[in-house]
Structure 1
Amino acid sequence: MSLVVVGSVAYDGVETPHGKIDRMLGGACTYIALSASYFTHSKIVAVVGEDFAQEDRDLLAERGIDLSGLEVAEGKTFFWQGVYSADMNDRETLRTDLNVFATFQPKLPESYKTQPYLFLGNIQPALQKQVFEQMSKLRFCGGDTMNFWINDFRDELLATIADWNFLLINDSEARLLSGESNLRKAAAKIMAMGPKNLVIKRGEYGAMLFRPNSLFVAPGYLLDSVFDPTGAGDCFAGGFTGYLAERGFDLQGDIDPHELHRAVIYGSVMGSFCCEQFGVERFRTLTRKEIDGRFEEFQKFTAF
């Protein structure tokens, strides 16, 4: 059983207080699939250009990620460039070249359509819905979105998330989507839109899991040094969904809330590892033993 991940595979140029990288592997689909690959089999649906390097393809393949759904189109791969503030809580986008991603139409191999788990990354809501409707045996489906889709494609977005089992967004997106400044009220409004499991990510302050009549709050992991927060939220998504897939979870059946709580913690763990080096570099050496060790740290510093 595999997790199908739909989204962007890209190149990023990033500058933080710790240094500058002109070109490195990135994209939401990349981070989610790499993170999830420590728990379950990942299959990606994305598009890259003719400039996509073999060494980057090899990194994904070495993690056991199925690349059958990775389309190579004529042109260049999506490129994003940004610079982070001194405390790395804010970033400024310097350049966005959509390139082949501008005309991305997700193409699912037949073998993907019967998989039980689906994460729909940050693409146009109509495309997310199009993918969802091709999947025939889902046990859970969810994804994320962003301010642009919330503001300019609201009706399309609402029609899409109505079918989802879960939604992962950050606190500012939750307020924008709901029209509520109070996160508890915001969560209630969003769950009424369809997703009965809502994760609100709060960066270095952790994450909150809302379900009907329940709330779970997890802190962020305190690192000695944050080198690059790019992709941390996507790695959270990969850890969260990857763990649920590993456990054979069915969000349409009887639910053990403690498993969902553990998924949130594994999401936080994966996000923290992402920040330790630039881009995807940490995944070149990261082991499941390290991941489980940090999970146990979370258990110790939150027990009372």
Structure 2
Amino acid sequence: MAILVVGSVAFDSIETPHGKVDHCLGGAATHFALAASYFTPVRVIAVVGKDFTAEHEAVFTKRGIDTRGLERADGLSFHWKGSYAGSMDSAKTLGTDLNVFEKFEPKIPNEYKDSEYLFLANIDPVLQARVRSEMPNVRRVCGDTMNYWISDHAENLAKVLRELDVLLINDGEARMLTGEHNLVLAAKKVQAMGPKTLVIKHGEYGATAFFGGGSFDNGVKALHPFRAPALPLAEVVDPTGAGDSFAGGFYGYLASQPKLTPEVFRRAMFYGGVMGSFTVERFGTERLQSVTREEIEERFKLFMEISHLDYAGA
């Protein structure tokens, strides 16, 4: 089933203890689309500038990603510059040039109107709400946001939350959104705002899913929270885009399955972790471009092994 993702396609300049790169391909929609493309067809809506070349577009098309929704505007593409140090839990932003992204107005091609899954990546909630209203027949809607929209655009964000089936945010954003330090209490408040399911990402410590009524297709009522691990890695080269890659693996796997059951949801959490773990091994999207489905399945088995008491390698 096809996923339509709306978000940023950008260039990143990144420095970490392992080196630095200048203007590598990045952006939330880019990481999401590449990760999801290993599981299901993906269509992308974003805006790029004159610096986005045929070579950059080939990164998408080689993975079978539909780029008819890429708008080309007069100017430069969105550019973010940041650095990581120490534990690399978060980046220090050194510069943000919105460029053509500043006036981004998503336009949905007619060929995309039959998309069954919609992912609203981290953009202005006004734009998220507009896209959602223009896609009333999608089977499921998942969204992301960040601290800026939570703190300065709460009213508009609240309208988006009411329309989501699944919300993916990190633990800091969950606390900011609700004012609750305890994540169990925070999850209850977030779900009361609209999302049936909440996935809270914990960076290098995995992610936790909180389920409510309507989370599944088979009538199963709300379950206890489910925690998926992250893979302990000896070396993290670049964490940029790991959360978006998690979202792509997670949502891509969901869209690949005929029904959303508790078992499918748990496996999707693992696949999200798998794709995030590949992303951090190289700068930008380099690893996502070269990974194979066989490598993905091997790492999925590794996730099973480190998290299941009775795992027998089957």
Q: TM-score, normalised by structure 1?
A: 0.97
1:224 Cα offset (Å) = 2.0
1:161 paired to 2:161: yes
SS at match of 1:200: strand
Deviates more, 1:64-73 or 1:210-219: 210-219
How far has the Cα of 1:209 moved from its partner?
Answer: 0.4
Distance (whole Å) between structure 2 residues aligned to residue 49 and residue 183 of structure 1: 40
Asked if residue 224 in structure 1 is aligned to residue 229 in structure 2, the reply is no
Structure 1 letter corresponding to 2:143: G
Secondary structure of the structure 1 residue equivalent to 2:225: strand
Identity of aligned residues (%): 53
**Any idea what SS the aligned residue of 1:214 has?**
coil
Alignment correspondent of 1:278:
283
- Which position in structure 2 is the counterpart of 1:238? 248
Measured against aligned partners, the alpha-carbon deviations of 1:193-237 in whole angstroms (never above 9, x if no partner) come to 110110000000110000134200011111121000000000000
Partner of 2:295: 290
Question: Counterparts of 1:210 and 1:284 in 2: how far apart (Å)?
Answer: 31
> Deviation per CA, 1:227-251, whole angstroms, max 9, x where unpaired?
00000000000001000011134xx
CA–CA separation in structure 1 for the residues paired with 2:122 and 2:135: 18
Kindly report which structure 2 residues correspond to 1:143-222, keeping only aligned pairs within 5 A, or say none.
Answer: 143-212=143-212, 213-222=223-232
Counterpart for residue 127 of structure 1: 127
Partners of 1:227 and 1:275 within 8 A in 2 = yes
Distance 1:160 1:69 in 2: 22
Decide whether the 8 Å contact of 1:114 with 1:136 is kept in 2. no
1 CA distance for matches of 2:27 and 2:243? 11
Matching residue's letter, 1:259 = V
Take 1:204 and 1:283, find their aligned partners in 2: how far apart are those partners? 18
- Whether the 8 Å CA contact 2:5–2:118 is kept in 1: the answer is yes
Query: 1:108: how far off?
Result: 0.4
Quote the residue 1:252 is aligned against.
Answer: none
Deviations 1:43-97 (A, max 9, x none): 0000000111221101111000000000000000000000001221132100100
For residue 96 of structure 1, give the secondary structure of its aligned residue in structure 2.
strand
The runs of at least 4 aligned residues of structure 1 exceeding 2 Å deviation read none
* Post-superposition offset of 1:178: 1.0
Map 1:86-105 → 2, pairs under 5 A? 86-105=86-105
Deviations 1:1-25 (A, max 9, x none): 3100000000000000000101100
For 1:94 and 1:207, locate their aligned partners in 2 and report how far apart those are by CA, in whole Å: 28
For 1:75 and 1:4, locate their aligned partners in 2 and report how far apart those are by CA, in whole Å: 25
Contact 1:16–1:86 under 8 Å retained in 2: no
How far did 1:301 drift? 1.2
Distance 2:198 2:90 in 1: 24
1:268 matched to 2:273? The reply is yes
Give the unaligned 5+ runs of structure 1.
250-254
SS of corresponding position for 1:291 = helix
CA–CA distance in structure 1, aligned partners of residues 255 and 56 of structure 2: 25
> Structure 2 stretches of 5 or more lacking a match?
213-222, 310-314
| 8 Å CA contact retained: 2:34, 2:289 | no
Instruction: Please report the TM-score for the alignment, with normalisation by the length of structure 2.
Output: 0.94
Q: For residue 227 of structure 1, what is the amino acid of its counterpart?
A: V
Task: Determine helix, strand or coil for the equivalent of 2:138.
Answer: coil
Greater displacement, 195-204 / 216-225: 216-225
Distance 2:27 2:198 in 1: 23
Preserved CA contact (<8 Å) 1:197 1:209: yes
Structure 2 counterpart of 1:215, which letter? P
Rounded Cα–Cα distance in structure 2 between residues aligned with 1:146 and 1:290: 31
Aligned pairs, number = 299
